[in-house]
Amino acid sequence: MQGMPFFSCEDLSLNLGGREVLRNISFDLREGEVLGIIGPNGAGKTSLLEILSGRFRPKTGKVYFEGRNISDLSLFERARLGIGRTYQTPLVPEELTVGETFKAARQAYEPWLTRFDAEYGAQLVRFRVPYDRPTTSLKTFERRKLLMATLLMRHPKMLLMDEPAAGLINAEIDEIDQILRMLSKEMNVGIVIVEHRIELLESIADRVVVMDAGEIIAQGELADIIDSEAVRAAYFEAH
């Protein structure tokens, strides 16, 4: 394990529907680090998370976690190792209440968790909706928090988050920022966060990877790369 980064990917490429969607993607992450992945729509950010989480198999490349090659592990096996994933659209289970959703999540795989674990997850994200409410009645922010609570109750070591601020208003985004900062700085959770708006990463990302058309065009500290020629061309002038 020594000398190996906490999490890394190496030379990932992916084809979808006969098109090359990702090419030559490599980066690493330290424990407790927040790495932002930015890039215009269609850059391949979500496809990259699909590979890192184990839902898609890449055409080439490897993924490593805690000194181990996890490239052949499924989404479920990676979740068991402590890699949590959130989605761009917060899909909650239909026809379940909040309490039933927590119960299903507690019993999703062994060891089954207790109500106290669920309560712990809920508290971390300050989720305060009554347990008898149907999940379909929740607003976007509450849905995102509910799904995060169900992940956090298993004490993940790292999170892969796809646009967690999408559909939220500024005060809600600030709260998500605070939660992510607490998870990384106080609980040492490594976070890969996809976001297409650069300004939202300024306050939380230690480093960023900039993607365009399936490739990494820059990576480093946000302040250092924001003025780079390549980033400007791909990012700002396209908008």
Ligand X SMILES: Nc1ncnc2c1ncn2[C@@H]1O[C@H](COP(=O)(O)OP(=O)(O)O)[C@@H](O)[C@H]1O
Verify binding: residue 46, Mg ion, rule CB under 5 A. Answer: yes
For residue 26, CA distances in Å to 8, 19, 93 come to 7, 20, 34
Please identify, using beta-carbon distances, which residue of 124 and 192 lies nearer to ligand X: 192
Alpha-carbon Rg of the chain, whole angstroms?
18
Instruction: Give φ, ψ of 143 to 5 degrees.
Output: -60, -45
Please pick, from the candidates 2, 3, 17, 186, the single residue that binds ligand X as defined by CB under 6 A. 17
Among 3-11, 41-49, 51-59, 68-76, the segment contacting ligand X (CB under 6 A): 41-49
Of 213, 225, 86, nearest to 156 (Cα)?
86
CB nearer to ligand X: pick between 16 and 169: 16
Cβ atoms of 88 and 160 closer than 8 Å: no
| CB 192, min distance to ligand X, A | 13
Contact (CB, 8 A) for 147 and 86: yes
Name which of 190 and 214 has its Cβ closer to ligand X: 214
What are the CA-CA distances from residue 166 to residues 140, 143, 206, 210 (Å)? Answer: 9, 12, 20, 18
Q: How far is the CB of 52 from ligand X (least distance, A)?
A: 12
What is the smallest separation between the CB atom of 162 and ligand X, expressed in angstroms? 7
CB of 68 vs Mg ion, minimal distance in Å: 27
Say whether residue 21 binds ligand X (CB under 6 A). Answer: yes
16 is a site residue for ligand X (CB under 6 A): yes
Q: How far is the CB of 86 from Mg ion (least distance, A)?
A: 12
Distance CA 109, CA 129 (A): 24
Contacts with ligand X by CB under 6 A lie at 16-17, 19, 21, 39, 41-47
